Amino acid sequence: MIIVLRSGVSEETVDAVIARVESLGFAAHLSRGTHRTIIGLIGDEDPAIVGRMKSIEGVAEVLPVLPPYKLASREAHPQDSVVNVSGVKIGGGFLGMIAGPCSVEEPERMDRIAQAVKASGANLLRGGAYKPRTSPYAFQGQGEDGLKILRDVGQKYGLPVVTEVTDPRNVDVVCRYADMLQVGARNMQNFVLLTEVGRTNRPVLLKRGMSATITDLLMSAEYVLSQGNANVVLCERGIKSFDPSTRNLFDVAAVPQVKQLSHLPIIVDPSHATGVPSLIPPCAMAGLAAGADGVHIEVHDCPAEAKSDGPQALLPTQYTDLMAQLRQLAQLLGKQLAA
Amino acid sequence: MIIVLRSGVSEETVDAVIARVESLGFAAHLSRGTHRTIIGLIGDEDPAIVGRMKSIEGVAEVLPVLPPYKLASREAHPQDSVVNVSGVKIGGGFLGMIAGPCSVEEPERMDRIAQAVKASGANLLRGGAYKPRTSPYAFQGQGEDGLKILRDVGQKYGLPVVTEVTDPRNVDVVCRYADMLQVGARNMQNFVLLTEVGRTNRPVLLKRGMSATITDLLMSAEYVLSQGNANVVLCERGIKSFDPSTRNLFDVAAVPQVKQLSHLPIIVDPSHATGVPSLIPPCAMAGLAAGADGVHIEVHDCPAEAKSDGPQALLPTQYTDLMAQLRQLAQLLGKQLAA
Amino acid sequence: MIIVLRSGVSEETVDAVIARVESLGFAAHLSRGTHRTIIGLIGDEDPAIVGRMKSIEGVAEVLPVLPPYKLASREAHPQDSVVNVSGVKIGGGFLGMIAGPCSVEEPERMDRIAQAVKASGANLLRGGAYKPRTSPYAFQGQGEDGLKILRDVGQKYGLPVVTEVTDPRNVDVVCRYADMLQVGARNMQNFVLLTEVGRTNRPVLLKRGMSATITDLLMSAEYVLSQGNANVVLCERGIKSFDPSTRNLFDVAAVPQVKQLSHLPIIVDPSHATGVPSLIPPCAMAGLAAGADGVHIEVHDCPAEAKSDGPQALLPTQYTDLMAQLRQLAQLLGKQLAA
Amino acid sequence: MIIVLRSGVSEETVDAVIARVESLGFAAHLSRGTHRTIIGLIGDEDPAIVGRMKSIEGVAEVLPVLPPYKLASREAHPQDSVVNVSGVKIGGGFLGMIAGPCSVEEPERMDRIAQAVKASGANLLRGGAYKPRTSPYAFQGQGEDGLKILRDVGQKYGLPVVTEVTDPRNVDVVCRYADMLQVGARNMQNFVLLTEVGRTNRPVLLKRGMSATITDLLMSAEYVLSQGNANVVLCERGIKSFDPSTRNLFDVAAVPQVKQLSHLPIIVDPSHATGVPSLIPPCAMAGLAAGADGVHIEVHDCPAEAKSDGPQALLPTQYTDLMAQLRQLAQLLGKQLAA
């Protein structure tokens, strides 16, 4: 940690700052510059300590040197983590291709969509049973009934299933049916929920919040990891921006950034990132080319009838075409797309 | 609702769109322009329907005309709502002046701070017992022990208390001690939590999410209102922006915007909005001048010892000076600051 | 300047970095921490040097300690600057109240508007003759003819005039007619134009760019100051944000931020900052309450006929009402509104 | 254009609005809904008219239906445009690979870099002679001397040259030396400069502004096109965002968005978009995979000595490795990289 003192502080203030930081357990190393005096601190950086340092009289700025996450950092775990979702590997060269409708709807529709995405090469099936909707009047999902439909269809086609959990009281029931728990963007900083999913041993798909920095995302992963659950896959799904022409802004650079800072796998979700079907294929290609460990796509056989988020879904035939392109690109990049 | 068709659609497509929207219960009204054809829809707008319309073949855009919230809208309730927090009114000309430390710490400190802010004119006391922290390693609050300290101190000084609830499982316990439930910025779209606090009759302080639009904020209020709890006070506390020089960006225009669109009271929180003590007084003044129904300020008697968010707290003496200024401004504006 | 080295760098690398920074004229002061090594540099910080340091092998981060502007900084000039615009003072307790139409249109309309705003208490008259329009097909202003109309009307009512200059080739002609040169938001980083207006002795109204940080704004002021023109007034006029409900986002905290960092006056422009007439009065009040040295308002007597930006103009009667409120607030704050 | 009236407007107001829009030359088509009345307007949409409509008494919103650009739109020109830069084609399947240092420095260095990038497959050489710098104290470029060095080196290696023009008074001199004129991000809405480069017949590389929407970018292209210069290549180079971990945010979805809305070629500049060398290769790959017509990369043989922007440059060897990857990807995508 580095402390920058205000310009023109007195000798007494400098001494008082040093005494204070030493009382907090740090060794202090003073550098007097032409215009400013700085103090290098030697000891363990702790986010709470950074806050307190800032409030010491005479301190202008406190600059942390280490990232605030530990378990999630690449320094702590130099090799890529590979997360195993009931036999499907994500990370370390293995691609997780997640597809399915926004919400679980009728069993027949779920079956048709699962059959189609399986045939196109998806290896994980998604579908929402508990839906976080901005309107209290919108369809909120079918709950446990939806979970059953999803699990049954997944088993029929040999596809492990991913579904969102939104309530800490529902983590148990979702674990009974799902192979992977999704924490949605709006809950990325729902620390109560992160702690609960961290207490399970189920793989977690953690979606980036719409205004979360890369550091925020890795801190939320750290919550899960710190509870003992090491099976975290991150997901870039678009952030807020000033241009209303797309629903969100797809931050493709988040993929290599996360890969450099962390050992955790990261996939991309161009469906939510753009909200525009015609932009999904080029953004999926971009995500894979940037190094993503998988692609999450919403697929629906009749978007105009979907109970939620129809407009951003691909048709099964569009998904087939996209998967053909992605498979070629994966091959060029030396990545494996599990059969 | 207005549907804009793609340019160059065939007559068959136009007919098909009309047939489809009529089957959804709308009367359709066609306008053929030089370059584009539009269809005005007469019937009740429903967010889910807007989504489905967008996926109809031939449709370029669907433009809702009505706001997606109802109970929260000024049209539904033309008079200003006044929320009564155990005798302290907020809204309709009454100012809620909330002050206190970020976290409830030792009882003696809480007592000293409460005494000071009461003397300066605060009419509500805040303090966190369940803290949503970005780091799993940071101080997470004292839980029910903190609630007890807060309630006891509040009663001693005649100050109703406001505290955050982060877990739907804790709503009951927090209701036993608190006069007002705070839903924090990171939980503004935690719909499970909004639903639970909506089922109580306790006033709710709903803080705006860091990337929430005004519409998003009012939709989250609608969640609480739709459960039967009409006692919602909104709070502008800063949003994300590109300039790292302040913690967040204080959106003062949110105050008049909310007042025009909704009957709900709205207060400002310049402590979180700026994160910089020297910016808190001018932003508090700005918020009041823009029409806010109150001001939320973090006050701590020794920021360098605070267990959380010390750097953004005012000292009691700074709070006293600010309140003197705010009182004069309130008088100029014809607002009442309860004794 | 502080250099943070990459974790695990070798002794040879540390020595090489030190040798390199010493060769650039700095004294280096080494601090070895538990996890990282940092080097404090003593010498003059120069933006170009910061860039080069970052590229030295082994360097993880370079943290500047001083602001990159000098003449604009409060440290260089502790007293508030007062800018004199042909007799009207702005700053140091004096308020510049600028009003007028977006564009100069017919002489009769300009005369009516000037008479009205003068009667309401404006002390500076605005009107655009060279308009930066996003569409090449939109009205681009009347050029020198517009300048003449503006000057004549200003002289008739005793109001010094402010008008925008967009082309370095037009600085001379604009100086012949205008008392103050406006550099618009889109040209805030048009360094060629900043240099040209810096070579005149005319007061400059420098509007903040839509995605400019406070540092960027002060750096652009530095361009003007560095050419010898000390008469710069800054203007907060809204920045880009993710909420499309207003044209821009009014960053009221920019006012106290600039006042703490710089001696230059800063005014607010709620017309451009919000783009919504009903939000202009509350935001004008907020700006003044936050410490602004003036308010810039677009006024038009028939917005539905305006050649540009009609929808964001106040009517003369609305301006009169607003000025009555602002005058009371100015009195409370101890600011002077020149007769 | 669609006009939405305020709720509860009187019959007289409706009639007055219709009379007014008819007087502006539009045919009006009325739709009365349950809650709101809308008017569809038939006639030519003009940005200025949209503004006036909004100010008509009783009007709540005016929704344009057509994009405000014409010449730049895909509707006006369905085939992809191919821009020819002294023999190097960009667009329509041809890739423009632009490389070189940020600034032109010594002739020997320019020669070394040009030789290296040519050998790696670049087909256009860049280098700045007029540099827009945020600090007035930073290196501003060598002007015409730099142009000469750039042209001579480009001719030696058979590479047409691209260089930035920042001043409308310098367009002529830059045209004497450069094969393509760059308009930088900070000048994207410098309409005076756009008009001047539009009056030449030289290809223009128009970089997206840091807070420009896709519509803003295409409107700026429209300025150049409307002057008669059809040779415009757009460039995505990163926009402002809330995460300070990269210099800008690379908006890869801008590539397919532009391609759907416009016929103009668009390339990507991951050097400026990220500002971090290790992120440049993955973002370059992402851009190409998303459909870009070329890649712009800053290359410097000794970033620690660069006079500007060293930290974001690739070394020649890094560029060689990246080009090898890009060539394979181009082949997969069926794009041609000119010899």
- For β-strands B83-85 and B88-90, DSSP reports them as antiparallel
Judge contact between D181 and D163, C-beta under 8 A: yes
DSSP A220-246: HHHHHHHTT---EEEEE--B--S-TTS
Q: CATH for A83-337?
A: 3.20.20.70
Q: Smallest Cα–Cα separation from A126: which of A106, A98, A145, A149?
A: A98
Percent of chain C with pLDDT over 90: 72
Q: Is the pLDDT of residue C311 over 90?
A: no
Sheet holding D27-32, edge to edge: D27-32, D37-42, D2-5, D59-63
Residue B331: pLDDT band (50, 70, 90) is very high
- Assign A339 a pLDDT band (cuts: 50, 70, 90): low
Q: What is the mean pLDDT of residues C233-243?
A: 96
D83-337 has the same fold as D2-63: no
What average pLDDT does the segment C262-273 reach?
A: 97
Residue of B nearest to C291 (CA): B282
Residue C339, pLDDT > 70, answer no
Q: How confident is residue A117, by pLDDT bands cut at 50, 70 and 90? A: very high
Question: Cβ distance C91 to C80 under 8 Å?
Answer: yes
Q: What is the mean pLDDT of residues C301-320?
A: 88
Q: Could you tell me whether strands D204-207 and D232-236 are parallel, antiparallel, or unpaired per DSSP bridges?
A: parallel
Preferred mutation among B50, B135, B216, B302 to probe A, highest tally of A CBs within 10 A: B135
Report whether pLDDT(D338) > 80.
Answer: no
Structure tokens, D156: 């030696």
Closest Cα in chain A, distance from residue B107 (Å): 20
Residues in chain C: 339
Which backbone phi and psi does B62 adopt, to 5 degrees?
A: -125, 120
Inter-chain touch D242–A240, beta carbons under 8 Å? yes
Residues in A closer than 8 angstroms to B218, CB to CB, are: none
C31 pLDDT higher than 70: yes
Pairing of strands A294-298, A336-337: unpaired
Give CA–CA dist D316/D313, Å, rounded: 9
Token pair 């538990």: residue: C34
Provide the 8-state DSSP code for B247: S
Structure confidence at residue C180 as a pLDDT band (50, 70, 90)? very high
Helix pair C280-289, B254-261: axis angle to 10 deg: 150
* Token reading at B46: 């429903």
CA distances from C293 to A155, B251, B287, B290 (A): 69, 20, 18, 17
Residues 6 or more apart in contact with residue B88 via CB below 8 angstroms: B94, B96, B123, B124, B160, B338
% of chain A beyond a pLDDT of 70: 99
CA separation for the pair C280, C269 (Å, rounded): 9
pLDDT per residue as tens digits for the range B235-264 = 999 999 999 888 899 999 999 999 999 999
The closest of C233, C237, C241 to C250, measured between CA atoms, is: C237
The answer to whether residue B64 scores a pLDDT higher than 80 is: no
Contact indicator for D136, C226 with CB cutoff of 8 Å? yes
Single-letter amino acid code for the residue at D25? G
Q: Does the beta-carbon distance from C46 to D305 stay under 8 Å?
A: no
> Are B108 and B301 in contact, with CB atoms under 8 Å apart?
no
Residue A288 has pLDDT above 60, yes or no: yes
**Cβ neighbours, 10 Å, residue D96:** 29
Query: Which pair of tokens denotes residue A127?
Result: 């579908």
Record: contact C192-D219, CB cut-off 8 A:
no
Q: Count other Cβ atoms within 10 Å, centred on residue A142.
A: 21
Q: Check CB contact under 8 Å for C63 and A2.
A: yes
Please give the average per-residue pLDDT across A59-81, as a whole number. Answer: 88
Percent of chain D scoring above 90 in pLDDT = 72
The string of DSSP codes covering B121-181 is T--EEE-BSS---SSTTS----THHHHHHHHHHHHHHT--EEEE---GGGHHHHHHH-SEE
Compute how many other C-beta atoms are within 10 angstroms of the C-beta atom of residue D302. 16
**Residue-averaged pLDDT of chain B:** 93
Arithmetic mean of pLDDT, A278-306: 95
Contact list in C for residue D213 (CB cut-off 8 A) is none
Could you report the per-residue pLDDT of B96-141, keeping only the tens digit for each? 999 999 999 999 999 999 999 999 999 999 999 999 998 898 889 9
Q: How far is CA C318 from CA A285, B302, C5, C277, C327, in A?
A: 54, 47, 59, 9, 14
Scanning chain D, the segments in alpha helix (DSSP H) are: 11-23, 47-54, 107-120, 144-157, 171-177, 191-198, 214-226, 254-261, 270-274, 280-289, 316-333
From chain B, pick out residues whose CB is under 8 angstroms from the CB of D28. none
Report the first-to-last Cα separation within chain B, whole angstroms: 48
Asked if C250's CB is within 8 angstroms of B213's CB, the reply is no
Suggest the residue from D245, D283, D285 to mutate for an interface test with chain A (most A CBs closer than 10 A): D285
- The Cα B291–Cα B93 span in angstroms is 9
Per-residue pLDDT at D189 exceeds 90 = yes
Dihedral over alpha carbons B282, B284, B285, B286 (to 10 degrees): 90
C192, two tokens? 């060629």
pLDDT digits (tens, 9 = 90+) for D217-253: 999 999 999 999 999 999 999 999 999 888 899 999 9
Q: Are strands C37-42 and C2-5 parallel, antiparallel or unpaired?
A: antiparallel
Region C44-60: mean pLDDT is 78
Q: Which of B4-8, B273-277, D63-67, D332-336 has the lowest mean pLDDT?
A: D63-67
Tokens of D21: 């829009």
| Cα(A139)–Cα(A137) distance, integer angstroms | 7
Backbone torsions φ then ψ of D181, nearest 5 degrees: -100, 125
Q: Tell me which residue in D215, D251, D286 faces A290 most closely, judged by beta carbons.
A: D286
Of chain C, the percentage scoring pLDDT greater than 70 comes to 99
Percent of chain A with pLDDT over 90: 72
Q: Residues of B near C (CB-CB distance < 8 A)?
A: 211, 213-215, 239-246, 249-253, 255-257, 260, 273-274, 278-279, 282-283, 285-291, 328-329, 332
3-state helix, strand, coil in chain B (%, to 5): 40, 20, 40
What's residue B338's pLDDT?
A: 62
DSSP codes joined into one string, D127-147: -BSS---SSTTS----THHHH
Give the pair of three-digit tokens for residue D321: 């490795």
The answer on pLDDT for A18 being more than 60 is yes
pLDDT at D191: 97
Q: Are residues A249 and A278 in contact, defined by beta-carbon separation less than 8 angstroms?
A: no
Fold designation for A2-63:
Alpha-Beta Plaits (3.30.70)
Do the chains contact at A241 and D249, CB–CB below 8 Å? yes
Mean pLDDT of the region D29-51: 76
Identify the residue whose tokens are 């605005």.
Answer: C126
What is the number of other CB atoms lying within 10 angstroms of the CB of residue D335? 19
CA distance B188 to B209: 5
Q: Which residues contact A159 (CB under 8 A, 6 or more apart)?
A: A114, A117, A118, A122, A123, A124, A125, A153
Looking at residue C269, its pLDDT comes to 98
Q: How far apart are CA B186 and CA D68, in angstroms?
A: 38
Highest mean pLDDT among C37-41, C161-165, C245-249: C161-165
Q: Which H or E element spans position D337?
A: strand D336-337
Above 90 in pLDDT, residue C7? no
User: What are the tens digits of pLDDT across the range D133-181?
Assistant: 988 988 899 999 999 999 999 999 999 999 999 999 999 999 999 999 9
Q: What region, left, alpha or beta, does residue B67 occupy, with left being phi > 0 and alpha being psi -120 to 50 degrees?
A: beta
Domain chopping of chain C, boundaries: 2-63, 83-337
Distance CA C64, CA C146 (A): 46
Mean pLDDT for chain C overall: 93
Q: Do C135 and D68 touch (CB under 8 A)?
A: yes
Q: Which chains touch D (3 or more CB pairs under 8 A)?
A: A, B, C
Q: How does DSSP assign B45-83, residue by residue?
A: --HHHHHHHHTSTTEEEEE--S-S-STTBTTT--SPP-E
Residues of D contacting chain A (CB within 8 angstroms): 211, 213-215, 239-246, 249-253, 255-257, 260, 273-274, 278-279, 282-283, 285-291, 328-329, 332
- Which amino acid type is present at position B269? D
Identify the bridge partners of residue B294 per DSSP, sorted by sequence position.
B96
Cβ-defined contact of B168 to A168 (cutoff 8 Å): yes
The answer to whether the CB of D8 falls within 8 A of the CB of D50 is no
pLDDT for the residue numbered A95: 98
How far is Cα A103 from Cα A101, in angstroms, rounded to an integer?
5
Cβ-based contacts under 8 A for chains A and D: 108
* CB spacing of A29 vs C34 below 8 angstroms: no
DSSP 3-state of C226: helix
What is the crossing angle of helices D316-333 and A316-333, to 10°?
Answer: 140
- Predicted confidence (pLDDT) at residue B297 exceeds the cutoff of 90: yes
Judging contacts by C-beta atoms under 8 Å, the chain B residues touching residue C279 are: 253, 256-257
The residue among C1 and C233 whose pLDDT is bigger is C233
Q: Which amino acid is at B179?
A: D
Chain A residues with CB-CB distance to B312 below 8 A:
none
Please state, for a pLDDT cut of 70, what percent of chain B lies above it: 99
Residue A104 DSSP code: -
pLDDT band at A71 (very low <50, low <70, confident <90, very high): very high
Beta strands B336-337; B204-207: pairing state? unpaired
Q: Which of C137, C210, C222 sits opposite D211 (nearest CB)?
A: C210
Neighbors of chain A by Cβ distance (3+ pairs < 8 Å): B, C, D
Lowest-confidence segment of A86-90, C130-134, D41-45, D330-334 by average pLDDT: D41-45
CA dihedral C154, C158, C160, C162 (to 10 degrees): -40
The pLDDT of residue B5 is 87
**Best residue in C164, C165, C186 for a mutation probing chain D (most D CBs within 10 Å):** C186
Asked if residue C64 has pLDDT above 80, the reply is no
Query: What residues have CB less than 8 Å from B330, skipping those under 6 apart?
Result: B95, B288, B336, B337
- Give the closest residue to D241 by CA, choosing from D216, D268, D211: D211
In terms of Cβ atoms closer than 10 Å to its own Cβ (0-12, 13-18, 19+), residue A292 is buried
Q: Can you tell me the mean pLDDT for A290-297?
A: 98
More confident residue, B49 or D83: D83
Q: What is the mean pLDDT of residues B145-172?
A: 98
DSSP D25-53: T-EEEEEE-SS-EEEEEES---HHHHHHH
Of A244, A251, A332, the CB nearest to D332: A332
Smallest Cβ–Cβ distance between A286 and the set D242, D244, D286 belongs to D286
User: CB-based contacts of C220: which residues, under 8 Å, 6+ apart?
Assistant: C183, C188, C189, C191, C194, C206, C209, C212, D134
DSSP 8-state class, residue D2: E
- The ipTM is 0.94
The answer on pLDDT for B339 being more than 60 is: no
Q: What is the pLDDT of residue B168?
A: 97
